[in-house]
Each structure stands twice: as structure tokens, then as C-alpha cells.
Amino acid sequence: MRNVRMLACLFAILVAAWLPGVASAQQVLQLEPGHGDIQLSSYLAYRHDSGGIDDATDAFRRYAAGEFSPLPGGQSEFGFQPGAYWFHANVVNHDAVETRWILVQQYALSDYIDLYVRYADGRVVHQASGDHRPFGSRSIHDRHPNFQFDLPTGQPVELLVRVQSESSMQVPLALFTTTAFASLARDAQFAIGIYYGILLALFFYNLVLWLMLRDASYFWYLFHLSAFGMVLFTLNGLGFEYLWPNSAWMTDKSVPLSICLALIGMQQFARTFLELKERFPRGNLVSLALIGFFLLLGIASLWLPYRMSTPIAARAVLVGVLWIAVAGIVVVRRGYVPARLFMLAWSMFLLGTTMFTLVAFGVLPKTFYTEYGVQIGSATEMLLLSIALGNRYASLRRENERIVSDANQKLERKVAQRTQEVRAALVQLEEAHGRLRDSSRRDGLTGLYNRTYFHEAFEKMLVDGQQSHQAVSLLMIDLDHFKAINDRHGHLVGDDCLRFTAQRIGKVLRAHDALLARFGGEEFVVGLPRHGLHEAVEVAEGLRRALVESPCGAQGHSIRISASVGVHTIAPGSVDDIDAAIEIADRALYAAKANGRDCVKTSISAA
């Protein structure tokens, strides 16, 4: 093996002496054991075939004639260029275990990529890939074009890569062992999964809010989020991999079309969130003009060549994002507080998008931050914008308080109308959050547990009582003459009375570790753990007195409230289930009503 390596090194020296114009400036890649992945930029020579007419034989001849040059600054990003680019590398594999390697083009949107591997015996093996060829032509099914080939141990091998594309000419080439490539693919899929997981979570969260509130800002936020997610899905090669693996037409048209949709969503969201129509009318007209341009460009991209539509769309991204930043600054300077958080979010997106666009035009090199800055920036932007939408409602609430405090008698009716609108919006928002957190457990009017939850919780209380050999008591409470309150004062007053009753009962039960729920209508139910019949009756009497002692103040009325209470105790070792217990307590309640109301009856006294 040592002799083989020495011969390989000697061969490399002879090649360098034979090709002084090229090989002296181009390093030979020595693959040592333990190398799992190698970026090839330091080992590549390149040539721009502006007419795209050379074949592999011509390219090998031109390389031998010294017409290839090292990559400028070690970077392989050239922007939008005509013709084809050729890249050449000399490789010697010294790893006897890893003889099967994968060449990966770490940019998903190249149209045509051809690999020519020339071995020491003169044999040339050709493979073809790119998103203008069927996805199945790739050696390994991955979003990045790739080629799997053999590198015999100790033998010099030449790699010649031809790339021709109407997209941005970005050719970050890398060599991987099969193990290293599998690890890279796994990590990349994990990162992509996190990104789209964030977008999906934000989408469904704000979709619920939009369905509840019907606020246009939420709709355009969802549109912007979905369209930009589709942009990155396309740019990362996932659309070609999963949605249209055999359609070169769709691959080309999806890029400018998704960009135009994302730009329309951005402008519309900014218009509604920043309230440009009222706060910056001239800026609103500019935004509408940009929306019209993006709409026409998206339609035209279905017919325009890719080499024309995509550069225009890429430049339009910078224009659209910068204009939104300008509009946001103007609105912030005019005192609109929610726009501050909007501008923070937009600055993250602007930074990531600018870096990504400049890489596409070859202005910036392709690094981790320039390649994935748009994902990081957009995810941060989406999170901050979601927060900004909530903050916007808080701003409306503060504005309402200011209006109420500063209003005079002449404007009282208008202030009341505005207050009602804002309160309705806030109630809807609070109810939406409340339903998401606790919809299955709480009664919407009183905030107490509902009947379904009580049934489940009290059943567990019974089991615990049986296991600990302690009594559990059940109280059924019904407000006296509640229908008369509704008939005399209206249902709104009746609702206030129910809420008042729930608060008074809850205050009395606070020291008893009780389970309180609204059973239905004007009925309430209480579970008392570790309470025998005597203790439960004392608690019931305390509840009854607490209601009678303090009248309910509602809508300017002082209303006396009383209640009838039925008490049933389930002794340790009894076989009562929850339905039977409720039925017995209910009979005691009816006995209390029959006895003149405003009293407490037990299941024993009612029997």
C-alpha cells in the first residue's frame, strides 16, 4: 500500500511538470482515511464557455492547454451568466476502505449538470443530473443534484463538471463518503423540518385567530407566510423532489411565480398592519402600484424565459422589502407604536433576504449565514409579526382607555360606540385564547368548571375517598325564583346574578378544597372531599347565608339572591356511583324547594 501511495505522488508530480500552466496553480486533492466530506473549491479550476458549445473532449483539451483558472477568491458564485461553466479537479484516493464517493452540487436550481470521471487507464464515465432532467436520474434521491462513482485506491482520477443553467450560477461542489452524505442529509432534513414546523405552527395558530376575529391583517399574514414558505420550498429543491419531479417547466415557473405571490402578500400585510391608507396615503398608493407590478410579473413569468423572469423577480424582492422598510419608518415617525415591533421583525427579514439575493447575483460568497440567513431571518420575522399582531390589539385597548379618559359629554355617544367595537374585538381575542386553553373545561358565563368536567373530576374524587376511607359530600344548589329575576330585569341582569353567585360560592368554598361547577341554568354543584354529612351541612348553610347577606348589584339594581341546597354524603365503602349520588342530592334539593326554599335539606331528611 505504501508503494502505491508513493507511485501516486510521483504521478502527481509528473502531471504538474507536464502541465505547468495549470497544475502548478491547482492543488491535487489527496483523500486520506478519515476524510468524510471535502469542499472542492480549493481544488477546482474553472472555465466559462460563454457559447455553451464545448463537449467533454474539448474541455479536457482546454484544461491540458492551460485555459482553466483557479476559482476567484475560492468562491464558486458567478450570478446569472450565459453559456456553461466547466470545473476540473484532480483527485487521488488513499483510503482503501472508502472507494465509493458522492459528488454533490450543493445548490438545487441548476438546470443541467454533467460529470465526467476520467480514470488513469483513459476510461471516461459520464453521469447527468439537474432540475431539467427527471429527478430519478440522480444517484441518490436528494434535493441536491448528486453523482455516485468509484475512486480506486492510489490511482489519480480527473473530475470534470459541466454546469449550464438559466438560474443563478452557484456551483458549491463537495465530495462525500456514503456515510457522511447520509449524516448530512439527515441533519439538513431535520433543520428544514424545524423551519417548516415553525411556519406550520404559526399558520394554524393565526388561522384560528383569523377565523375568530376576521381581521384582514391575519389573512394577509397567513398569505405572506404561506407564499414565502413556498418560495423557500422551491428554492431548496423540495418542490422538484416532492411535487413535480418530472416537470422542468414547473421547476422553472415555480420560482418567479412563488416570489411574486410572496411579494404581493408582503405588501398587502404591510398595508393593512401599518394602516397605510389612513397613516401614509401616498405610501399606500406606492404599495398598490408595486402589488400591480408583482401581479403582472407573476402572470408574465408563465411565458417569459426563466433567464429573464427570475432575475427581475430577484431584484423585485429587494425593492419590495426595502419599500416596506421605508413605509414602516414613516409610520413609526408618525407615532404608530405597533409599527416598532413590525420594523424589528422586518429588519430580520430584510437582512436575510438581502444576503440571499446578493449571493444569487454573485455579489456575496456562499457561506452558512448567507445561504441560510433567509430561513433564519424569515422564521424570526414570522414569530415577531405574530407577536406584533397581538401587540396591535393591546395598542387598541390603550387607545380606547385614552379616549374614555379624555372624552367629554358632547362626544360620549361616539366614544361609547368606539369602546364597544374595541371591547368586542378584545372579547373575541380573549375568548379565542380561552377556548384554545380551557374550552373543554370551563363554563363561558361564570368561569366555573362545566358539567362534563365536574362529572370526570368528581368520579376521581369518589375513587380517592374510597381508597382513603374518607367520606365525600355532594351539594346541589339552585337559585330561588331566578326566572322572576330574568323576567323582571332582563337576561343580562340575570347573567350578572349568576356570575355574582359563582363568586360568592367560590369565596366560601376556598378553604374547603372543594370542586365547584355550574351544573346548568341557575344550578351549581359542589364536591366536598373529606367532609361528612355534618360538615357538609355546615358548609351548605354558610353558602346559603353568604348569598342572602349581600345583595347583587347589577345594572343599577340591588337584587336579593337566595338558594336552596340539597346535601348527600357518600360514606366510605358505599357503592354509590356519581350518577346515583347526583340523583339523590337532587332529590334533597327538591325537598328544600318544597320546604319553602332558602334552606338546606339532606338526603336523609328528604327520604
pLDDT in tens, 164-183: 998 888 899 999 999 999 88
Q: Is the pLDDT of residue 293 over 50?
A: yes
The percentage of the chain sitting over the pLDDT mark of 90, rounded to a whole number, equals 36
CA distance 127 to 138: 9
* pLDDT, tens only, 414-444: 766 777 776 776 667 677 666 665 667 888 8
Q: Is the pLDDT of residue 21 over 50?
A: no
Mean pLDDT of the chain: 83
Task: State the cell numbers at 167.
Answer: 438560474
Note the pLDDT of residue 10. 40
Note the pLDDT of residue 537. 92
* pLDDT, tens only, 55-81: 999 999 999 999 999 998 878 888 888
Asked whether the beta carbons of 518 and 445 are under 8 A apart, the reply is yes
Task: State the cell numbers at 208.
Answer: 384560528
CA-CA distances (angstroms) from residue 270 to 280, 281, 352, 386? 12, 13, 18, 13
Name the 3-class secondary structure at 360: helix
Long-range contacts: 274-277, Cβ < 8 Å, 24+?
Answer: 274/327, 274/328, 274/331, 274/336, 274/339, 274/342, 275/331, 275/336, 276/327, 276/331
Name the 3-class secondary structure at 362: coil
CA distance 89 to 43: 6
CA distance 106 to 170: 9
Topology (CATH) of 2-183: Immunoglobulin-like (2.60.40)
Between 593 and 213, whose confidence is greater? Answer: 593
Task: Please name which of 321, 319, 313 lies closest in space to residue 346, comparing C-alpha atoms.
Answer: 321
Between 82 and 378, whose confidence is greater? Answer: 82
CA distance 377 to 579: 57
* Residues ≥6 apart with Cβ < 8 Å to 214: none
Asked whether the beta carbons of 578 and 483 are under 8 A apart, the reply is no
Domain boundaries, the chain: 2-183, 215-406, 451-606
Q: Which CATH number is correct for 451-606, 3.30.70.270, 3.40.1190.10, 3.40.50.720, 2.30.29.30? A: 3.30.70.270
Asked whether the beta carbons of 254 and 298 are under 8 A apart, the reply is no
Task: State the cell numbers at 136.
Answer: 430519478
**Which residue reads 487521488 in cell numbers?**
92
Asked whether the beta carbons of 8 and 156 are under 8 A apart, the reply is yes
Asked whether the beta carbons of 98 and 153 are under 8 A apart, the reply is no
CA distance 430 to 393: 11
CA distance 160 to 48: 13
* pLDDT, tens only, 456-489: 889 899 888 888 889 999 999 999 998 988 888 8
Task: Please name which of 434, 393, 214, 268 lies closest in space to residue 206, comparing C-alpha atoms.
Answer: 214
* Residues ≥6 apart with Cβ < 8 Å to 454: 515, 517, 519, 525, 527
Cα four-point dihedral sign 504, 510, 512, 518: positive
CA distance 501 to 581: 24
Q: What is the mean pLDDT of residues 566-585?
A: 85
Note the pLDDT of residue 125. 96
Highest mean pLDDT among 90-99, 346-355, 379-388: 90-99
- Residue 5 — very low, low, confident or very high, per pLDDT cuts 50/70/90? very low
Phi-psi region of 154 (alpha: psi -120 to 50; beta: other; left: phi over 0): left
Between 4 and 98, whose confidence is greater? Answer: 98
Q: What is the mean pLDDT of residues 92-111?
A: 91
